[in-house]
Structure 1
Amino acid sequence: MLDDRDRPSDGREDLEAALVLHYSRLVRIAYLALPPEGDRHGRVLAAHAIVQRALPGGGGWWLDPRGRRLRKAGGDSYAVLRAVVVRSVLRGSRRSRVLYQPYVWGLRLFPLGGGSEEMQMDAALRELTTTARMAYVLLALEGLPADEIRALLTRAGASGVPAALASAERLSAEHLAEVLKSSEFDPCTLRTRPTDLSRRRLRVRAATGATAAALTLGVAAVVGFSGSGPDGAAGGTAGTADAAAQASVRVAADAWRESARIDFGVWPARGDDAESGTKVGQALEAWTVPHSDVFRLGPGASEAPPVSPVHVLWNGHVDGAAVVLLYDTTRLARYTVPDHPTADDPVRLDVVRADDSDVTTAGAVVLRSTAAGDRWLVAPWVDTVAVRDVKAPDVLAKSMAFPDGVTGVVPRPVVSTCGSWPVLQMQSSPQIAEHHTFLLADLGGVTGTHLTYTPPPKAGPALAPREGTGPDALVAESRVVCGLGSLQGRDVKQINTWSFAQQTLPANQGVATWVCLRADDWTGVGTSTGEFLPPAARVPATVTGTEEDGKSCTRFDQNVVAQTRWRGPDGRTYLLVAGSRHVVKLGVADASGAVRTTVPAPDHTAATPMSEAAAMAAGSAGAAVGILDTGATVRAFHP
């Protein structure tokens, strides 16, 4: 095989052979060094355009992107082509790169993607100037000595060459050069995605009169170019239309005041870099082409890339990381690039469901988590923010400032000891609801978990869940909150603590409370857990049973029965059973499921003395049965 780099040539034919032989390497150089403005789709096309126009024009002269003659061909063919690519990247304007890009209609093109090391490298390259990026590529990928790089950049007309070379050498010491050979930086092996299909007809109409051409990116340099120039034909607006389809949406700061729908869709764009599109483009790329060791998909969330313009909710730097928060009407995507990534704090993209959010469930999201705790980004309709320890219901919440919507560091719950359980207590603007105060807890996800409370039953219609901020609610939540550790990382949307029954215990031992803890995920499924709360506030709650993926303890199924064993002060063991408001009798079923004995339950509870063996058998079999006022039966949750 011809290795053109090993022999000098003055002829165009040898230059063409060198271009074919080293096409992918030259395109990679251009792609890596090009400014990171926009997205990877545009950089891919620009890199191919630069290399495809690297051959000299008529008479052996090269033409720059503006059609001006530069120099005659001569010397090592590959080195000459590389010098032209370097010069085109450093001198070419963004406008000229767009004008001479190949046609691409209806598709977005992206390299295949790599892993966290590649994303760290990409983030590091984005922090450099174009000259420094080119110096690093020549040093790390091409293996050129510093003196040769300095001379090549100087001949190309670059400024600040010494500083650029110093930056390149520092980056070379921090990152392995092999990373540059990854598929993440290969603009010749590509994945395709459609543009916004719903706008396809509009884009076609907007591009009337344009010359459409299919694109095959490879060693063949015979493709159409948009714009006009020495080697290009008249073109259209496909690239511009595609870019518009992917453009992000930024909502006005007061949009929520005029909206009848209060959710993430009316959050404004905030952050110290809110107007910049660089990190937003990087986040969109990470969402479009997921990296397996970076992408984190929440339960029930679609892994498909966004197909419509996304809302930018935050773009800035917080606690040692660049963070971008995006919303595509059904999902939230949080893109985090730490300044110094580690195994415990890596580059990552979290995508979670956020459909059907409201004033509370869209009240705040976890913007950044570190060892110190969480920074929350608060909804624009929130007037006050405080931190409350649910484990200490009698302690007042502590107010917290939230400049630009970002709270101070809020400690996360220590699940192992459950010594405290901090939550956010927020009050919404009177324009949304008068004196509306609500709680959001961190269960390890992006969105907060809304805490509500349903008080014990009274005469009349069933009570609806209310905000978990009242005195009775806080006391009940303090008793059950330690059980929330099992829900961490499950993307729980709301937890309701329902006190469905109260029971006077035998031997005048006080009044116990029966609770159903209902945890609803964003997916619509949920878990119901029965808990028994002894009268003594410091005695931990007893879990009596659980129903996975059911609808118990919701407005669609308000009938519930629970049981537990309880030992009185005289040493006697009782089977305690309780039911919700429509349970009029309580009984015990045998192993076959037949109900053998029942007792009236005017207060929906019963306490039956039993031998230790019988109580253990009944408790382990989940044999308690409630008979409703309709005659139907309800079985207790399984332990």
Structure 2
Amino acid sequence: MQSQDVAQRQSSAPAGPTDPVVDVEQAEAALVEHYPRLVRLAYLVLPPSLGRNRRVLTAHSLTQRALPRGRTSTSVIPAQSTGQGRDGDPGYAFLRLQVLRTALEAALPLRRKAWPKRSQLPPLLPQVWGLKLFPRSGGADELALDQRLSALSAPARAAYVLRGLEQLADPDVHRVLTAAGVDDTEAALGEADAVPAQYALLDSPEFDPCSLQARPTDLMRRRQRTKAALAAAAALAVSGALLGLPGDGWGPDGAAAPSYAQNPAAEAALDPSRLTKVSPTTWRSSARTDFSVWPARGDLTGDRALLRRALAVWARPGETVQVSTTPGTPSGGPAGPPQLLYAGNVDNARVVILHDGLRLARYAEPKDGTAGAALDFARTDGATGAEANAVVLDRTDGNVRYLTAPWVTKVAERDLLKPSSGAMDLTITDGVTTPLASPAIKTGSCASWNVLQITDDSGTRLMTDLGELVPARLTTGRPGKTHDAAGAESLRTWAPFACSLFAVRGQGVRSVNAWQYAEQPLPDASGTAAWVCTRAETWRGGGERALAQFHTPGGTYGAVAAKAENVPACGTRDPHVLAGVLWKSEAGTWYLLAAGSRDTASISTTGGVEQTAQGNLLAVPAKKGTQAGLKAILTDGRSISGLR
């Protein structure tokens, strides 16, 4: 059943026969979940002649304008998906079409006798003054592919991207291009055939406009010509943002940018001799179990020149330094001398890890120089015990090495998708683990999810790499009574939902909990399904994501039934959850299934199906494509709506 005000919620672009009809709530949910992919799609289709900075800003602008107009309070209960990802999501299909249409418009030449389209003009928002933003540089293969794509017409680029990034067959590409306004789709597909099918490269950081580097534009000229810039420079000098180097002058140091001011506090923070180095035995007698009692390890802890470069780059990274920060993490220089956790040779790089009480900073440079140096930041305030057990030391060729806490006695690698398989022991040398496969850089299908299993005197726990310096802790159990996901039952709970961790990579996640809040006997004697809520908590205390997932007997993966961000549901503050899904039995009958947590007294549906069931489970016959809203009454009389 389609919503009655669909026409009011379409974008200003004319609707074609293939345009998906979608509720605005569906579109909003799809935009939140798939925003990075939609922006990447726009970036790849936009004309390279715009320049990387304007392509980045335009890609974000087009994606943010893709939502349909209007509002509705109707909650859409999606049909059960037979696989993972975006397939069959009308909200995503609608947004993809809108983004593609406007990106193709942006590639059209301006005409003298016609007003320019909005997408052909520089974006009003987002806008950044004084900075140029561009994705991280890839390798030679990515550069070659970018050059080949730049030689294609916009429709041909769109065809190539839909084939590679979206993995659409040619008939589907033809349909989408036609809906986006391309007149000659066959010519576009034929032109795209001239570019080698290096589709895996489209997932490279080279084409990721959500993971950016920032550099000044005309900084020196503006500093010379405007009093405001000079005043700002003076203020920065006072606050220590433009920091000087101790001892040997004020010029560039390695990959660091030049310094133009001297400040005693800044000098102290950047003096390698003032770094805090904790004794290797301090942790044994300390009541604390956090990063403050980690000893300084590695074979280069006495390399003053390396430590000086790491501190200088932290304070003022140069133009060639690749800088990344987890959300909510300040990236400015240290306020005082930080603590050294590690300095040593790792694979083909020299790595330094520093801690200032609130953040971890990881500096890495090639062994043969400082070109290509990288600086990563992660927020760690309040990390204790399990949260201070390990730090990512290095990622190479799809593998990751960890630096573990001094109290860790054993580490192993485990596939979260295979709960019955054993754990493979890893070797620890001076706190450094042997490499294990990282799921953080996976693309395409999800056939495994390798996690780090850590054992210390307090027990065993699982940590997963989500593309940040600090791995996220995995737990199970009812909110407020969670425990580490290490036992056999916890492993079975997590197995069908491991791949949903894709959705929270790079979000500053501190821990992820999987809570099986209900079991539901399926109609037509189809067995028993599990309802599980996975909730990711962040270091910054915002941006939490909750997913209600549905898993049927014999299925490898769970299906996302509902999702929400920045809500207390399924967490310690509000340990309740309600979600529903359309499900088709083996007999071919469609049902509307819903489940709430155990303190749910009744569940009611509105819209396409109107029914009330006592208790925390509901199962009623329905038609395919039915839309309905959910509402539940808790045992304490409070009313809650479905997670969305």
3-state DSSP class of the match of 2:386? coil
Aligned to 2:472: 449
Preserved CA contact (<8 Å) 2:271 2:308: no
Preserved CA contact (<8 Å) 2:241 2:333: no
Q: Which amino acid aligns with 2:526?
A: Q
TM-aligned CA deviation for residue 125 of structure 1: 11
> In the superposition, relative to structure 1, how do residues 351 and 442 fare at CA in structure 2: closer, same or farther (>3 Å)?
same
Aligned to 2:261: 192
Preserved CA contact (<8 Å) 1:440 1:449: yes
Aligned to 1:161: none
3-state DSSP class of the match of 1:381? coil
Q: Which amino acid aligns with 1:381?
A: W
Among 417, 420, 430, which residue is 1:404 paired with?
430
TM-aligned CA deviation for residue 552 of structure 1: 1.8
Among 265, 279, 288, which residue is 2:315 paired with?
288
TM-aligned CA deviation for residue 415 of structure 1: 4.0
Aligned to 1:495: 512
Preserved CA contact (<8 Å) 1:332 1:353: yes
Please tell me whether residue 522 in structure 1 is matched to residue 539 in structure 2. yes
Alignment of 1:370-449 (within 5 A): 370-413=396-439, 414-428=442-456, 434-449=457-472
Preserved CA contact (<8 Å) 1:552 1:560: yes
Alignment of 1:176-215 (within 5 A): 190-192=259-261, 194-196=263-265
Among 257, 269, 273, which residue is 2:300 paired with?
273
Aligned to 1:263: 290
CA distance in 2, matches of 1:292, 1:484: 33
TM-aligned CA deviation for residue 620 of structure 1: 7.2
Please tell me whether residue 303 in structure 1 is matched to residue 313 in structure 2. no
3-state DSSP class of the match of 2:365? strand
Residues 330-365 of structure 1: per-residue CA shift (max 9 Å, x gap):
0000000023589xx931111111111011111101
> In the superposition, relative to structure 1, how do residues 110 and 589 fare at CA in structure 2: closer, same or farther (>3 Å)?
closer
CA distance in 1, matches of 2:296, 2:437: 26
CA distance in 2, matches of 1:298, 1:246: 29
Preserved CA contact (<8 Å) 2:297 2:430: yes
Aligned to 1:326: 354
Please tell me whether residue 581 in structure 1 is matched to residue 598 in structure 2. yes
Higher relative contact order (CA 8 A, sep 6+): 2
Q: Which amino acid aligns with 1:560?
A: V
TM-aligned CA deviation for residue 392 of structure 1: 1.1
> In the superposition, relative to structure 1, how do residues 350 and 622 fare at CA in structure 2: closer, same or farther (>3 Å)?
farther
TM-aligned CA deviation for residue 124 of structure 1: 7.5
Residues 12-31 of structure 1: per-residue CA shift (max 9 Å, x gap):
xxxxxxxxxxxxxxxxxxxx
TM-aligned CA deviation for residue 540 of structure 1: 2.3
Among 487, 512, 515, which residue is 2:529 paired with?
512
Q: Which deviates more, 573-582 or 275-284?
A: 275-284
3-state DSSP class of the match of 2:557? coil
Aligned to 1:251: 278
Residues 192-241 of structure 1: per-residue CA shift (max 9 Å, x gap):
364449xxxxxxxxxxxxxxxxxxxxxxxxxxxxxxxxxxxxxxxxxx97
Aligned to 1:606: 618
3-state DSSP class of the match of 1:191? coil
TM-aligned CA deviation for residue 122 of structure 1: 7.2
TM-aligned CA deviation for residue 511 of structure 1: 1.3
> In the superposition, relative to structure 1, how do residues 123 and 481 fare at CA in structure 2: closer, same or farther (>3 Å)?
farther
> In the superposition, relative to structure 1, how do residues 586 and 406 fare at CA in structure 2: closer, same or farther (>3 Å)?
same
TM-aligned CA deviation for residue 396 of structure 1: 0.7
TM-aligned CA deviation for residue 584 of structure 1: 0.7
CA distance in 2, matches of 1:577, 1:554: 19
Preserved CA contact (<8 Å) 1:626 1:633: yes
**TM-score when normalising by structure 1:** 0.58
Q: Number of residue pairs matched?
A: 398
Among 450, 469, 472, which residue is 2:489 paired with?
472
Q: Which amino acid aligns with 1:439?
A: L
CA distance in 1, matches of 2:268, 2:544: 46
**TM-score when normalising by structure 2:** 0.57
CA distance in 2, matches of 1:375, 1:408: 6
3-state DSSP class of the match of 2:275? coil
Preserved CA contact (<8 Å) 2:278 2:295: yes
> In the superposition, relative to structure 1, how do residues 111 and 383 fare at CA in structure 2: closer, same or farther (>3 Å)?
closer
Q: Which amino acid aligns with 1:464?
A: K
3-state DSSP class of the match of 1:634? strand
Q: Which amino acid aligns with 1:481?
A: A
TM-aligned CA deviation for residue 327 of structure 1: 0.1
> In the superposition, relative to structure 1, how do residues 351 and 260 fare at CA in structure 2: closer, same or farther (>3 Å)?
same
3-state DSSP class of the match of 1:507? helix
> In the superposition, relative to structure 1, how do residues 574 and 107 fare at CA in structure 2: closer, same or farther (>3 Å)?
closer
Please tell me whether residue 368 in structure 1 is matched to residue 399 in structure 2. no
> In the superposition, relative to structure 1, how do residues 242 and 442 fare at CA in structure 2: closer, same or farther (>3 Å)?
closer
> In the superposition, relative to structure 1, how do residues 109 and 529 fare at CA in structure 2: closer, same or farther (>3 Å)?
closer
3-state DSSP class of the match of 1:334? strand
Q: Which amino acid aligns with 1:391?
A: L
3-state DSSP class of the match of 2:381? coil
Among 578, 581, 585, which residue is 1:564 paired with?
581
Runs of 5+ unmatched residues, structure 2:
1-235, 244-250
> In the superposition, relative to structure 1, how do residues 373 and 193 fare at CA in structure 2: closer, same or farther (>3 Å)?
farther
Among 538, 544, 549, which residue is 2:561 paired with?
544
Q: Which amino acid aligns with 1:474?
A: L
TM-aligned CA deviation for residue 560 of structure 1: 1.0
Aligned to 1:7: none
CA distance in 2, matches of 1:498, 1:393: 16
Residues 149-188 of structure 1: per-residue CA shift (max 9 Å, x gap):
xxxxxxxxxxxxxxxxxxxxxxxxxxxxxxxxxxxxxxxx
> In the superposition, relative to structure 1, how do residues 251 and 537 fare at CA in structure 2: closer, same or farther (>3 Å)?
farther
CA distance in 2, matches of 1:266, 1:609: 60
Preserved CA contact (<8 Å) 2:269 2:337: no
Alignment of 1:16-55 (within 5 A): none
CA distance in 1, matches of 2:262, 2:421: 54
Aligned to 2:20: none
Preserved CA contact (<8 Å) 1:331 1:354: yes
Residues 233-256 of structure 1: per-residue CA shift (max 9 Å, x gap):
xxxxxxx97877981100111222
Please tell me whether residue 624 in structure 1 is matched to residue 596 in structure 2. no
TM-aligned CA deviation for residue 297 of structure 1: 2.2
Residues 70-120 of structure 1: per-residue CA shift (max 9 Å, x gap):
xxxxxxxxxxxxxxxxxxxxxxxxxxxxxxxxxxxx97999979xxxxxxx
Q: Which deviates more, 294-303 or 579-588?
A: 294-303
> In the superposition, relative to structure 1, how do residues 339 and 443 fare at CA in structure 2: closer, same or farther (>3 Å)?
same
Q: Which amino acid aligns with 2:393?
A: L
Aligned to 2:31: none
Preserved CA contact (<8 Å) 1:246 1:309: no
Q: Which deviates more, 240-249 or 356-365?
A: 240-249
> In the superposition, relative to structure 1, how do residues 584 and 598 fare at CA in structure 2: closer, same or farther (>3 Å)?
farther
Preserved CA contact (<8 Å) 2:255 2:317: no
> In the superposition, relative to structure 1, how do residues 242 and 560 fare at CA in structure 2: closer, same or farther (>3 Å)?
closer
CA distance in 2, matches of 1:549, 1:398: 37
> In the superposition, relative to structure 1, how do residues 622 and 319 fare at CA in structure 2: closer, same or farther (>3 Å)?
farther
Preserved CA contact (<8 Å) 1:498 1:516: yes
Identity %: 31
CA distance in 2, matches of 1:125, 1:372: 26
> In the superposition, relative to structure 1, how do residues 464 and 109 fare at CA in structure 2: closer, same or farther (>3 Å)?
closer
Among 315, 333, 339, which residue is 2:343 paired with?
315
